[in-house]
Structure 1
Amino acid sequence: MTLTFRASTTADLEALLAFTTSEPVAWTGPDRYRDEAAAHNLRPAWSWLALRDGVPVGRAIWWGGADADVPATLDDVLVPGARDERERVTIAAGLLRAGAASFGATPEWIVDVAVDWRDDPAAVASVAWRAAAASAAGLPRTTERISVAWTPDAGVPAPRRDLTFRTGDDDEFLDLFARVTVGSLDDHTRATVARLGARGTAADDLEFYASLPGRREDWRIAVGADGVTRGFVLATRTAYDAAVSYIGVLPQHRGNGVVDALLAEALRVHHAAGEPRVVGTTDAANTPMWRAFERAGFGVAKRRIVFDH
């Protein structure tokens, strides 16, 4: 038996789209693939096939922005042709390693699951083999995140009278990103600080969030009546929805309801622009942030498992 891994070509499209699964995880169906490919978010060079003796047995589909040189996330790995669980892990890990070598980067792998996925043995098993493959391919860190969504019928929270909001330049946001890493409950932030330090993490965050769709002037800094900065919030967009992409409260001001005011400001920004839906995510372990989303009228839409390094 010979396993090979390669990027797809336009001639592979039907073979790529022939893959299906009954596993209770999100995956990319033919219609979505064609729509995303038309938007240049999915590309043949980012859609890989695993072949056993020349026959397709697995696929991996990475996603990226239309202007990106490398993909941002791995969104779909299916291995229906595996003979057993061990081979499934081997094939999936091989796809990840081959793609990463080609891209010169190892994007995080996102697996969307149902809100109650832990009560479903099939979902638990689906996450387990993916976690094993991710670890074998250099993505050993697993984080469960909660995806939330707000619609206007939930209402826009009232503003706090003791806070005002303004914009800021890159240097100010760089400083704020670094300052809020202290005591962060976010798993990605803690891991990045361990690798890059607070300033390196701040530079990484600034570059990433500046690359997202949305208006730069919708990044807001909260200032108290005493003129002291309390925190900041980034009202941005995903490829599909308006979003609250980052909320940071300075350590000395945590526990005073500033997070609620920041969320409310982001919702006012998006509501004024007529957005019909606003989304956000937080680590499942970050209970304070999760509760803040609930207080602001967000409901849990799904959970996602993120494999990263």
Structure 2
Amino acid sequence: MTVTFRASPPDDLEALLAFSTSDPVSWIDADRYRQESVTRNYRPEWSFLAERDGRPIGRALWWGGSDAAKPSTLDDLIVDVSDDDERVAVAAGLIRAGAEAFGTLPEWVVDVAVDWHDDPRAVAAVAWREQAARTAGLGRTTERVSVAWEPGTGLPAARTDGDLTFRTGDDAEFLDLFARVTVGSLDAHTRATVAELGAHGTAADDLEFYLTLPGRRQDWLVAEDADGLVVGFVLATRTAYDAAISYIAVLPQHRGRGVVDALLAAALRVHGAAGEPRVVGTTDSENVPMRRAFERAGFTVTKRRIVFEA
């Protein structure tokens, strides 16, 4: 039987919101969808249904900024069929239908529990989603760790071999810094983007993206040592929901000196001064140095995130 895929107009809302899943992964409930539809983070033209003989058997919900022309992430994909091969085919079909409509292939984000590797149901749930992602053209899978810090934790002690000072910088300087810190990066997305676009192309892509994030531009901080040499930088910005450490990097020649601790502390002071109740961050599971830096700063792991991207 033929399966069709289409965007879901407003009069399909009840069918769209009737989906749920028992898989131990994140999904969007009706209340959240309605709340974020008001802010245009979810939209009918970004919400797709898969149908067989007129019956909905799958849905995909893409998320984007309130003023964005296109969505940035696939937040939710649920398929209500029992056959594993068909589940993969329907999921891949939904992703491809969205990509065709948007003219781009946004990343697919699946949040799972911290200990998901120990749960066979979670492992199976991630496995079929990864197969669907690859079928649809999202060939790269990265596991990321989400962390959070609260003011009661206290600020971390900076471990550097000298005092650092912090200042703002203009876009041209940050463009240069984004390019310089790609050397030896442990971040999977950065390495893949450098392989595709080169260091300067990656820097331009990064600058363009981070300028779109909420938060104050003056909270992008450049760190200098006692000799006036730039050693690293940190972007204290916001997600749609929380204050965030969106980007933190140490120049290659200054790594291993504890500069990252001072950068984290500086960003936390910015958010603390603004009265933020919570600060979040993410890093690749395989980026052990950054994970340990977050731990030293008092961040706790809240979840793991599976990211499928082209």
TM-score (norm 2): 0.98
| Counterpart for residue 172 of structure 2 | 171
Structure 1 residue 224 and structure 2 residue 225: aligned?
A: yes
Shift of 1:248: 1.0
Residue 54 of structure 1, CA deviation: 1.6
Q: Deviations over 1:220-275 (max 9, x none)?
A: 00000001000000000000000000001100000000111100100000000000
d(CA) in 2 for partners of 1:65, 1:122: 32
Partner of 2:258: 257
**In structure 2, what is the Cα distance between the partners aligned to 1:286 and 1:94?**
33
Unaligned runs of 5+ in 1: none
Do 2:164 and 2:225's aligned partners in 1 also have CA atoms closer than 8 Å?
Answer: yes
Amino acid at match of 1:273: A
Structure 2: 5+ residue runs without aligned partners? none
**How many angstroms does 1:157 deviate by?**
2.2
Give the structure 2 partner of residue 146 of structure 1: 145
2-structure distance, mates of 1:46, 1:91: 17
Give the aligned residue type for 1:15.
Answer: A
Partner deviation per Cα, 1:127-147 (whole Å, 9 max, x = no partner)? 000000000001010000000
Per the normalisation by structure 1, the TM-score is 0.99
Shift of the alpha carbon at 1:173?
0.1
2:70 is paired with a residue whose SS is coil
Q: CA deviation at 1:77?
A: 0.3
Could you tell me which residue of structure 2 aligns to residue 124 of structure 1? Answer: 123
Looking at structure 1, the residues matched to 107 and 212 of structure 2 have their Cα atoms a distance apart, in angstroms, of 17
1:66 aligned partner: 66
* 1:102 shift after superposition: 0.4
Q: Distance in 2 between matches of 1:185 and 1:141?
A: 16
Structure 2 CA distance for aligned equivalents of residues 265 and 190 of structure 1: 26
Tell me, yes or no, if the aligned pair for 2:16 and 2:49 is still in contact at 8 Å.
Answer: yes
Deviation per CA, 1:176-219: give whole Å up to 9, x if none.
Answer: 00000000000000000000000000000000001000000000
Corresponding residue SS for 2:110? strand
Count of residues in Structure 1 that have an aligned counterpart in Structure 2: 308
Which is worse superposed, 150-159 or 167-176? Answer: 150-159
Counterparts of residues 281-292 of structure 1 (less than 5 Å): 281-292=282-293
Distance 2:19 2:156 in 1: 45
In 2: Cα distance, 1:99 partner to 1:157 partner: 43
* Residue matched to 2:8: 8
Structure-2 separation of matches of 1:252 and 1:156: 26
Q: Are 1:37 and 2:37 an aligned pair?
A: yes
Per the TM alignment, residue 158 of structure 1 is displaced from its structure 2 partner at its CA by: 4.1
What's the counterpart of residue 272 of structure 1?
273
Q: Which amino acid is 2:291 matched to? A: W
Instruction: State the distance in 2 between where 1:201 and 1:52 align.
Output: 42
CA deviation digits over 1:18-69, x for unaligned, max 9? Answer: 0011110000000011011111100000000000122100000000000000
Query: Quick one: distance in 1 between partners of 2:54 and 2:104?
Result: 27
Read off the aligned partner of 1:102 and give its amino acid letter: A
SS at match of 2:178: helix
